[in-house]
A = this chain, B = another copy of it.
Amino acid sequence: MKFQIDKSALASIVSIVSRAISSKTNMQILEGLYMEAKDGKLTLRATDTEISMESQHSCFVEEEGSIVLNASLFGDIVRKLPSAMVHIESEGQKLSLTCEQSHFEIMGQNPDEYPQLPELGGSEKIVVTGESLLKAFKETQFATSNDDMRIVLTGVLLDVTKENITFVALDGYRMAMSKIQGEQDVIRDLILPARSVSEISKLIDENKTLVLEIGNNHILIQFDETKFFTKLLNGEFFQYNSLIRKDHDMELLVERKPFMAALERASLMTGKERNGLVKLDIHDDVIEILSNSEVGKVHETVKAEKTGKDLAIAFNARYLLEGIRVIEEDTIKMGFTDAVNPCIITPADGEEYLYLVLPVRLANL
């Protein structure tokens, strides 16, 4: 292999594909970047077996070939090179790199041992805007479960129908749901791992249209010269529709920012042993937020517009806050039945986002 490429182009594709490399791997080959020079292009590839990425850049190829290099070492070297042409040459598993007065020899690994890119084995496609995908991911990903015992809940469900795509994440204590309207030819349930959702989100350009190519076990998204593959999680997702209640015995309209600020202050006083517990005492046109722990007491009062009965109910403050923080609208709607059934939170206008959170049962409420 022998080729030349500009330092900034090389640094850019190295940093993109390196996102796929996991720090947790214990297979040495997966700490590596696969590098191939062929047909006037440099191709880099990386994978942690869940996410696979490939990125290309045109370059002057004198001799075709491939090698695998330690991604962290190679990335550090490339970043620190002077801004000039980089001359790369390999013989067997030894790579030499020259850039102005710098000359490196780096031991690589056998490229034949590097995993192939996944094969999609399917040709269904979904088209969405970058902006809507980014919003739907942001509104759901935080609610995925960390519990590896129910692996499907560690991902975000994309429930694709002819009319829309519903994004759902739930962990047994709360559920976040976000809808993208728009017609598709596809009817499928796709479950994307949370880490994939987080990495895709970093690559999405809000102003572009994205195509999700759906395979049997993977999806592929292309961003310019970069291909992003993610494994899909296998299994039946929870029947989330059965959780959603349409009618509430009490509804509140509340300004999002002051309510969040009061919850944040209150959660400071919940103490370590109380697991972030806050009580809401909702009566007349106020929500009183109370917490009482070994470190002290807090009492916050927030104005609200109430329809229906009074209610005293307790929540884990973090769960309430995480569901409200992702909403972009100024006013939110909260629907309750009683102190033991879930609270349902949506923007005051619009049904594209819904958050459901279970209260904490207290003996003395």
Contacts and interface: CB of A to CB of B under 8 A. Distances in A.
A296 interface: yes
A300 B264 CA distance: 54
Contacts of A103: 298-300
Contact of A106 (B76, B264, B295): B295
A297 B104 contact: yes
A59 interface: no
A102 B262 contact: yes
Contacts of A81: 265
A268 interface: yes
Nearest to A290: B103
Nearest to A269: B104
A340 interface: no
A321 to B, nearest CB: 12
A101 interface: yes
B104 A296 contact: yes
A81 B101 CA distance: 57
Contacts of A106: 269, 295-296
B296 A102 contact: no
A261 B76 CA distance: 12
A294 B261 CA distance: 54
A105 B106 CA distance: 62
Interface in A92-140: 101-107
A302 interface: yes
Contact of A268 (B73, B105, B265, B298): B73
Interface in A273-331: 294-302
11 contacts: A73-B295, A77-B269, A80-B261, A80-B265, A82-B261, A102-B262, A102-B298, A102-B300, A104-B296, A104-B299, A107-B295
Interface of A: 70, 73, 76-77, 80-82, 101-107, 261-262, 264-265, 268-269, 294-302
Given A105-B298, A107-B296, 8 more contacts: A70-B295, A76-B268, A77-B269, A80-B268, A102-B262, A104-B299, A106-B296, A107-B295
Closest 9 CB pairs of A and B: A106-B296, A105-B297, A101-B301, A103-B299, A80-B265, A105-B296, A76-B268, A104-B298, A102-B300
